[in-house]
């Protein structure tokens, strides 16, 4: 019945202090995808696809972006944040748990933006991204996953999560490139 | 089974621009209750009862307290905000709709604070407070309502909402006074 | 953007044992609206508007329609059930609390049926119907309320709830009649 | 603060028609675990641990146990159902999607039973069991997973899901045996 799909780009947990086991490993991998996500974000902005950051709040609760940034900022994420820090144009929501839908206004925001398709980017691929994907799937969003915009501590886990999003949640998997034409990705 | 109740004070939509029909009427009534809520808040802080502001975000979404304040602040609410502005000690959450539980992390925050009893204060009594009360009741929180800390545009509506919280949601209704001993209010 | 509205009729708590204070009063009023609801239901079926019963499960949990009926059936509701008992064509869901959306698959069912508009009927108007209406409104459904298909113990409470659905939740209120043309009611 | 844990056994999607790709493979593996689940269920009943079946409803919606059984029953599941069919003592809920918490009254039922710990059994380990586990973890339930009461089409996927529940969701993994003493499994 619907003619056009309306997508949004979800950027998950990229503001991260990496203060956990294997945090350095994940920080290194996150730096690699940060460039891709930044480019994808630019393209989305150009094509009027809304960009939504959704992020752990580091138990600050009353937290806002500046407080989370000042809590998180350190040597490990300095370069990442330079590339991927939210601007005033981006939406910014906090989440208290793994999934971006649990205990957040994400679904309401997406409804108001008339969005039915989600581009998923961020970390960790096998935890917060995967469980966000499943919650999105249960709410009947279509999923598009740029595989080079997702990272996990372990590469096998990352591949496994991507395979799962493909097989279990009907996600369309693609490799993002600067010349990707976003509209070709959307389900018809 | 549980021996002690753990309460939290919920302050609903008190950061308000009153830019709606009858906004001036509600602003005047809100000023009256602001003094009571401020006193109640002081007492709660003294008795280690956590204070949680939950507030409309005026469609800012990425909003933080400062942005909401700067968006809202005007002649109508100047005095109210002087009395009741959140401090760094208070929790601050945004809500996208009437109920403080819909599309928010409130339930998760209350779980982490080990809270099973809610003190409800704020505006409007017959809309956001009432629907928050029902959502709290469905989640099996006990409710305590200081009737002089709640206001609605219309006094009849306010009384009706309070009666409804009492009769339908088993809320304990009381008139807050400076010498109120909080612990006597809690369900045994 | 959307051209056509898709409605569903929600019939709330009409399978009821009326074993509570003022149960006889509500049973008498429910009998009056049962005839209207039955007629409305026939019309909906004719116009391909899905009919969804959603009902308290009387703490049976594993409950199905037959078990709930056999638990509930008594002298007070005999005539009501004769008029309004669900058939095999109707959807039937149970709800654990006041609102038809809390702890139920209603939202998912409505998504699958492509429904964006709800006709609300049933009891009690000032409790389960009202709180269902608010939950529907927060989820951005349009509401249509046939005022003679809703009953509460107290007539004033019923009128108050209807006024609230109109003023706070933008519900369209109308008096159902056999010659009502449903499509004229839908928001354009 | 709490002294005792209260567990419930969750039996996921064991009433299954296996009419999907690799359905025969999963049916064979499910038959193996059905004996373990049956024994675990007997033990739970003896130790007053409530048993809750939660199951896909095969798009019946108004569905009850008997209707689901009569829809599903076939040569592939005959033996399984003989071992594991719910009795009148067991709770029985339907779920519309992967997770047992999404669009269901499970959380409310667990609250009323005063349950804070879940034993997870059923199929498929890497889909419905895994996503139920994550939803339970986000709601702060403790998880206990009897690894020989869970099956997936692919054994690697099953092991992966179990590892994930252990590492990401703090689940306690154990091999159920007839002489397992349940209370030794509960978190202290």
Q: Tell me the mean pLDDT in the region A108-128.
A: 96
d(CA A25, CA D23): 39
How many Å is the maximal CA-CA distance in chain C? Answer: 50
Q: Is residue A78 in some structural domain?
A: yes
pLDDT higher than 50, residue B84: yes
Q: What is the pLDDT of residue D65?
A: 85
Residues 122-141 of B with CB under 8 A from D: 140
Q: Is the peptide bond before D127 cis (omega within 30 degrees of 0)?
A: no
Q: Is C3 on the interface with A (CB under 8 A)?
A: no
With contact defined as 3+ CB pairs under 8 Å, the chains touching C are A, B, D
Q: What is the pLDDT of residue A64?
A: 78
The dihedral formed by the CA atoms of A130, A134, A135 and A137, expressed in degrees to the nearest 10: 130
CATH of the domain at A138: 3.40.50.850
d(CA D186, CA D172): 9
Q: Is residue B2 in some structural domain?
A: no
Q: Tell me the mean pLDDT in the region B31-44.
A: 96
Alpha helices in C47-154 (DSSP H): 65-72, 78-84, 106-112, 130-138
Rg, C-alpha atoms of chain D:
15
Q: What is the pLDDT of residue D2?
A: 43
**3-state DSSP assignment of residue C177:** coil
For residue A57, count other CB atoms closer than 10 A to its CB: 18
Interface probe for D, chosen from A101, A107, A164, A165 (most Cβ of D below 10 Å), is A164
Helix axes C155-169, C130-138, angle to 10 degrees: 10
Residues 6+ apart with CB under 8 A from A159: none
Buried b (16+ CB within 10 A) or exposed e, C106-139: bbbbbeebebbbbbbbbbbbbbbbbbbbbbbbbb
pLDDT > 70 fraction of chain B, expressed in percent and rounded: 96
d(CA B3, CA B186): 11
Tens of pLDDT, residues C129-185: 999 999 999 999 999 999 999 999 999 999 999 999 999 999 999 999 999 988 888
Tens of pLDDT, residues A72-97: 999 999 999 999 999 988 999 999 99
Computed over every residue of chain C, the mean pLDDT equals 93
Facing residues of D145 across strands?
D173
For residue A23, count other CB atoms closer than 10 A to its CB: 16
pLDDT > 90 fraction of chain B, expressed in percent and rounded: 85
The dihedral formed by the CA atoms of C32, C34, C40 and C41, expressed in degrees to the nearest 10: 180
d(CA D132, CA D99): 4
Domain range enclosing C33: 7-185
With contact defined as 3+ CB pairs under 8 Å, the chains touching D are A, B, C
d(CA C126, CA B126): 13
pLDDT confidence bin for B118, thresholds 50/70/90: very high
d(CA C24, CA C7): 32
d(CA D173, CA B141): 33
Q: Is B82 on the interface with D (CB under 8 A)?
A: no
Tokens linked to D11: 């039996």
pLDDT confidence bin for A3, thresholds 50/70/90: very low
A chain contacts of residue C111, beta-carbon cutoff 8 Å: 140
CA C153 distance to own-chain centroid: 16
pLDDT higher than 60, residue A111: yes
Q: Tell me the mean pLDDT in the region B88-112.
A: 93
Q: Which residue ranges in chain D fall short of pLDDT 70?
A: 1-4, 62-63, 188
d(CA A174, CA A62): 37
d(CA B61, CA D140): 27
Computed over every residue of chain B, the mean pLDDT equals 93
ipTM for this prediction = 0.90
Q: Is the separation of the CB atoms in D173 and D145 below 8 Å?
A: yes
Q: Tell me the mean pLDDT in the region A132-158.
A: 97
Tokens linked to A24: 């350095």
Q: Is the separation of the CB atoms in B118 and B144 below 8 Å?
A: yes
d(CA C68, CA C17): 10
Count the domains in chain C. 1
**3-state DSSP assignment of residue C21:** coil
Q: Is D89 on the interface with C (CB under 8 A)?
A: no
Tens of pLDDT, residues C91-102: 999 999 999 999
Tokens linked to D1: 């603060």
Check CB contact under 8 Å for B134 and C168.
no
Q: Is residue C1 in some structural domain?
A: no
B chain contacts of residue D140, beta-carbon cutoff 8 Å: 111
pLDDT confidence bin for A1, thresholds 50/70/90: very low
Instruction: Name the residue with tokens 């972006």.
Output: A65
Q: Is A91 on the interface with B (CB under 8 A)?
A: yes
Q: Tell me the mean pLDDT in the region A157-186.
A: 93
CA A127 distance to own-chain centroid: 12
d(CA C107, CA C112): 9
Distance from CA of D178 to the nearest CA of B (A): 32
d(CA D118, CA A9): 35
d(CA C57, CA C64): 8
CA distances from A121 to A11, A20, C135, D50 (A): 5, 21, 31, 40
Q: Is residue C2 in some structural domain?
A: no
**3-state DSSP assignment of residue C172:** strand
d(CA D49, CA B53): 39
Q: What is the pLDDT of residue B1?
A: 35
pLDDT confidence bin for B61, thresholds 50/70/90: confident
Q: Is residue A94 in some structural domain?
A: yes
Q: Is residue C26 in some structural domain?
A: yes
Report angle CA C5, C11, C17 to the nearest 5 degrees: 175
Q: What is the pLDDT of residue A106?
A: 94
What is the pTM for the complete model shown? Answer: 0.91
């Amino acid at each position: 019945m619907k003619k056009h799909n309306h997508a949004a780009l979800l950027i998950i947990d990229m503001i991260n202090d990496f203060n956990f086991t294997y945090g350095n490993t994940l920080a290194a991998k996150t730096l690699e995808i940060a460039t891709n996500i930044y480019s994808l974000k630019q393209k989305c902005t150009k094509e009027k696809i809304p960009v939504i950051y959704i992020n752990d709040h580091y138990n600050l609760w009353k937290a806002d972006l500046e407080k989370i940034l000042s809590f998180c900022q350190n040597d490990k994420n300095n370069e990442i944040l330079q590339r991927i820090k939210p601007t005033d144009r981006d939406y910014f929501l906090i989440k208290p748990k793994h999934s971006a839908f649990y205990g957040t206004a994400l679904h309401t925001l997406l409804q108001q933006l008339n969005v039915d398709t989600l581009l998923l980017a961020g970390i960790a691929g096998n935890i917060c991204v995967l469980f966000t994907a499943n919650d999105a799937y249960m709410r009947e969003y279509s999923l598009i996953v740029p595989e080079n915009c997702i990272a996990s501590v372990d590469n096998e886990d990352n591949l496994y999560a991507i395979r799962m999003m493909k097989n279990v949640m009907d996600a369309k998997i693609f490799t993002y490139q600067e010349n990707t034409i976003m509209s070709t990705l959307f389900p018809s």
